[in-house]
Structure 1
Amino acid sequence: MALLFFTLTFQLLLLILRVSSESPLTTGGDVKNNFLESAKNPEVFDWMVRIRRKLHENPELGFEEFETSKLIRSELDLLGVKYRYPVAITGVIGYIGTGEPPFVALRADMDALLIQEAVEWEHKSKIPGKMHACGHDGHVTMLLGAAKMLQEHRHELQGTVVLIFQPAEEGLGGAKKMVEEGALKNVEAIFGIHLSNRIPFGKAATRAGPILAGAGSFEAVITGKGGHAAIPQHTIDPVIAASSIVLSLQQLVSREADPLDSNVVTVSMVQGGNALNVIPDSVTIGGTLRAFTGFTQLQQRIKEVITKQATVHRCNASVNLTPQGIEPYPPTVNNVDLYKQFKSVVRDLLGQEAVEEAAQVMGSEDFSFFAEAIPGHFTLLGMQDETKSYAMPHSPHFRINEDALPYGAAIHASMAVQYLKEKALKGSASATSFHDEL
């Protein structure tokens, strides 16, 4: 009997070890050997490249991504992934896994820019004056790549992965609209990736806390009373008022901001008058503001300075903090726990030197709306190649290093799996089924 018990126990132990070693969704080398190698598989890689190039040839602006959305839905249909559409006009939200908690989201932005592409190649933009000049075509592709791998292992997921294909990142606040329309319902955490030509290939740059600044715009019309420049006493000169306002706005940074904090207030537009001997009735000024902390306060101080300086010069001023419908973006802040988890997973996936400490950047991202609503983590994925020159984003010469696509797909998939695994171990606080949403 003792021998039989020992034999059965030994066989059971071997079975457990075998199952553990064969599981494709465990951490350690298995993640590296499965998600990264799967994404680098020539068949999968070529599939991603085809999708990315098709998206690049057909760029669409914010809230106009109808063909982009159609392509995404077509690929999800082929993969057998369920989704919601439309969300925020053109957005798509896919679901992979049990349909039960915990829920973790992966996000990709879809929109292009009003830029005429200057790169001459076979897959140049076919739409005059529009271009994917910020890598969003690559972001969509990487998320679809992750979807393909996650769907293949959907029965092993310990929860639900939510795929967020978001419209209108470039200035129109598509993320905010998606949040308002319930994109994050029951979601406990969200991860985002942005391709970067400043980070070495095969590495990711991130940091805990604020990583990207909050950004906003302002436009003001200063109104006085125009007249002949030779008799200024009969006028109320808005040019003088505008000049005083521009100088006073600079003091918000030099005299009101903590010198250890990074702030920017820039007046970049001044319009008024069209004759050398006529004082105009009004002058329009506009610009941008950036801050990691105290962003809302800075907005209000800009408004106060403009209106009160105008009053000093006997003028009136109206201030618009969302000119041309451009939404102010809050700072992008990385959750500390998600940051630690990200570092652990990516170092295991790509190597111990694969994660760099990112410098704070005064640029902005509307991923901030997601990370403001729930814990979020945003990272820059390197595509730098010293043998090639890659222009900065928003340049007509911008290009993507397509060899980075498998890395982004593998990171997305690995982060989702690891998050669900850890949440399952701890027990999700949520108990709501999401089957009705699918």
Structure 2
Amino acid sequence: MPIISSFSLLLQFYMNIKMNFPKFSWILLSMFIIFNDVISSVVSSDIDCSLFDDIKIDTTTTSSHHQFSFFNQNLVKNTSFISAGFSSCTSSCVTSKSSILNLAKNIETVEWIKRLRRKIHEYPELAFEEYQTSKLIRNELDRIGISYQFPMANTGLKASIGTGGAPFVALRADMDALPIQEGVEWEHKSKVAGKMHACGHDAHVAMLLGAAKVLKSREHCLKGTVILLFQPAEEAGNGAKRMMEDGALEKVEAIFAAHVSHQHPTSVIGSRSGPLLAGCGFFRTVISRNQGHNADAMLAASAAVISLQNIVSREANPLDSQVVSVASFNGGNDLDRIAESVTLGGTFRAFSNTSFYRIRQRIEEVIIQQASVYRCSATVDFFEKEQPMYPPTVNDEGMYEHVRKVAIDVVGPNNFKEVPPMMGAEDFSFYSEVVPAAFFYIGIRNETLGSIHTGHSPYFMIDEDALPIGAAVHATIAERYLSEHE
């Protein structure tokens, strides 16, 4: 900004004249007053404060310089000239809504975020295989000038922006794709057969990189350290745990994350305090007929299925939403003989840890005891080694309130919605068990574009207009959290 550079040189020149040749400094005073009117009309609140880092202003007055007290005490502190310069640097850091949003919606930044998302979308990678995605993220962080720790959880990484000291606040994006063949025909369709970003994780990465770029440009405003977590294997259910084992939450006091949602119009933010997403577990059982008995494993398995449905309908509090669903039943392909064994499996979900683990216990009891009634035996596997059960995702009340206030400031009160709990699950829940956390949605629904399909659909797509909004909300959440917890 040439005008600002000229101003800084002029101001330094004035201070030198004032100190060494006080009799002539009044000449420059008139120059400042004129210059004030010029730059007030061209400088926005997004002024780059780093231009003023080396300027030192002494506003003290002495008896021999009373004629300059007006300039020292009023012009320097209160005129529109200073509000366009020094004061705007301070105010833009304190009231960062418009500054951050304008940076995120800058045409070049928007196009950059879109390019990143499209490139990631074209080359989707499954859980713990996100090698190229991780490389792309690292390359962009290098270009921006952000340091990071790699690897974490095999392909993940942890970046940091700010002072390097407390407080520490984290933002998280997941980056794995799904084993789905994309059905959307468009220019940037997946180029990898049988793999697709059908849940929006490509958008999550792009939005967090956008936030990283904005925060780096405003690093002088940060009153602590922002941690950026690029996490693998959300869909596998153990990416978050692996990240934490590698130190992702070290020193972190709070963590936030977003997920795109086809249920909300583009850029509408949604969240709630307390339980937001259910705890989720899976089970598989093999019911076998005991030798030496006239037993029927098919009958025993059928009775187990019916009994499993009674866990929720007859045992659960109707005001405490829970689910037990049998999704698979396999007794073989023979039509002329009784099966030796039957394999069945499914999922269970609940919004509190107490209900969740009670359901787990009851599933095992019902299956084993129901099998024994029909002189069969059973084993139950909950996949706890391969795929840990997701606990419920519970938003901390204070962190939710922080998200709500930021969202209202950025997108307006009509574009923030308090949403009901959903039976979906998220491995962000592992973070929320350790530190205060808030998870929120950003709408991508746009009927005109065909962005109407649920996640995990081969026709899933997003409205990219949500990307800069997501970047701005991320960045504002982090910067404001640091300011409020300084």
Tell me the TM-score normalised to structure 2 length.
Answer: 0.82
Given that 2:279 and 2:389 are in contact with CA atoms closer than 8 Å, whether structure 1 keeps it comes out as: yes
1:54 aligned partner: 119
1:113 aligned partner: 178
Deviates more, 1:35-44 or 1:207-216: 35-44
Given that 1:218 and 1:323 are in contact with CA atoms closer than 8 Å, whether structure 2 keeps it comes out as: no
Unpaired runs of at least 5, structure 2: 1-62
The alignment partner of 1:193 has SS state of: strand
Task: After TM superposition, give the deviation of residue 202 of structure 1 in Å.
Answer: 2.3
Instruction: Decide which of 314, 317, 324 is 1:258's aligned counterpart.
Output: 317
1:401 aligned partner: 463
The alignment partner of 1:247 has SS state of: helix
1:355 aligned partner: 416
Instruction: Decide which of 232, 250, 253 is 1:185's aligned counterpart.
Output: 250
2:483 aligned partner: 421
Give the 5 Å matches for 1:202-351: 202-225=267-290, 235-293=294-352, 294-322=355-383, 325-351=386-412
1:429 aligned partner: none
Task: After TM superposition, give the deviation of residue 3 of structure 1 in Å.
Answer: 8.2
Letter aligned with residue 332 of structure 2: G
Task: After TM superposition, give the deviation of residue 172 of structure 1 in Å.
Answer: 3.0
Task: After TM superposition, give the deviation of residue 386 of structure 1 in Å.
Answer: 3.7
Task: After TM superposition, give the deviation of residue 324 of structure 1 in Å.
Answer: 9.1
Question: Larger radius of gyration, structure 1 or 2?
Answer: 2
Instruction: Decide which of 101, 117, 124 is 1:36's aligned counterpart.
Output: 101
Question: Which has the higher relative contact order, 1 or 2, with Cα contacts under 8 A spaced 6 or more apart?
Answer: 1
Given that 2:237 and 2:390 are in contact with CA atoms closer than 8 Å, whether structure 1 keeps it comes out as: no
Give the 5 Å matches for 1:155-166: 155-166=220-231
Task: After TM superposition, give the deviation of residue 282 of structure 1 in Å.
Answer: 0.8
Task: After TM superposition, give the deviation of residue 6 of structure 1 in Å.
Answer: 6.9
**What CA distance in whole angstroms lies between the structure 2 residues aligned with 1:116 and 1:24?**
49
Deviations 1:248-299 (A, max 9, x none): 1111101111001111100010111322221111110100111102111111
Letter aligned with residue 120 of structure 1: E
**What CA distance in whole angstroms lies between the structure 1 residues aligned with 2:87 and 2:400?**
27
2:15 aligned partner: none
**What CA distance in whole angstroms lies between the structure 1 residues aligned with 2:87 and 2:419?**
35
Distance 1:117 1:164, change over 3 A: same
Task: After TM superposition, give the deviation of residue 11 of structure 1 in Å.
Answer: 4.3
**What CA distance in whole angstroms lies between the structure 1 residues aligned with 2:145 and 2:402?**
29
**What CA distance in whole angstroms lies between the structure 1 residues aligned with 2:91 and 2:75?**
22
Task: After TM superposition, give the deviation of residue 310 of structure 1 in Å.
Answer: 1.4
The alignment partner of 2:433 has SS state of: helix
Task: After TM superposition, give the deviation of residue 25 of structure 1 in Å.
Answer: 4.8
Give the 5 Å matches for 1:105-144: 105-144=170-209
Given that 2:450 and 2:461 are in contact with CA atoms closer than 8 Å, whether structure 1 keeps it comes out as: no
**2:369 counterpart of 1:369:** no
Task: After TM superposition, give the deviation of residue 13 of structure 1 in Å.
Answer: 3.6
**What CA distance in whole angstroms lies between the structure 2 residues aligned with 1:46 and 1:234?**
70
1:432 aligned partner: none
Unpaired runs of at least 5, structure 1: 227-232, 425-438
**What CA distance in whole angstroms lies between the structure 1 residues aligned with 2:90 and 2:444?**
30
2:28 aligned partner: none
Given that 1:219 and 1:323 are in contact with CA atoms closer than 8 Å, whether structure 2 keeps it comes out as: no
Deviates more, 1:129-138 or 1:292-301: 292-301
Task: After TM superposition, give the deviation of residue 72 of structure 1 in Å.
Answer: 0.5
Deviates more, 1:119-128 or 1:6-15: 6-15
Distance 1:53 1:324, change over 3 A: farther
The alignment partner of 1:276 has SS state of: coil
**What CA distance in whole angstroms lies between the structure 1 residues aligned with 2:323 and 2:152?**
34
**What CA distance in whole angstroms lies between the structure 2 residues aligned with 1:174 and 1:24?**
39
Tell me the TM-score normalised to structure 1 length.
Answer: 0.91
1:90 aligned partner: 155
Letter aligned with residue 384 of structure 1: R
Task: After TM superposition, give the deviation of residue 19 of structure 1 in Å.
Answer: 3.5
**2:145 counterpart of 1:80:** yes
**What CA distance in whole angstroms lies between the structure 2 residues aligned with 1:343 and 1:153?**
22
Q: CA RMSD in A?
A: 1.9
**2:78 counterpart of 1:14:** yes
Instruction: Decide which of 117, 133, 136 is 1:68's aligned counterpart.
Output: 133
**What CA distance in whole angstroms lies between the structure 1 residues aligned with 2:269 and 2:92?**
21
**What CA distance in whole angstroms lies between the structure 2 residues aligned with 1:64 and 1:413?**
28
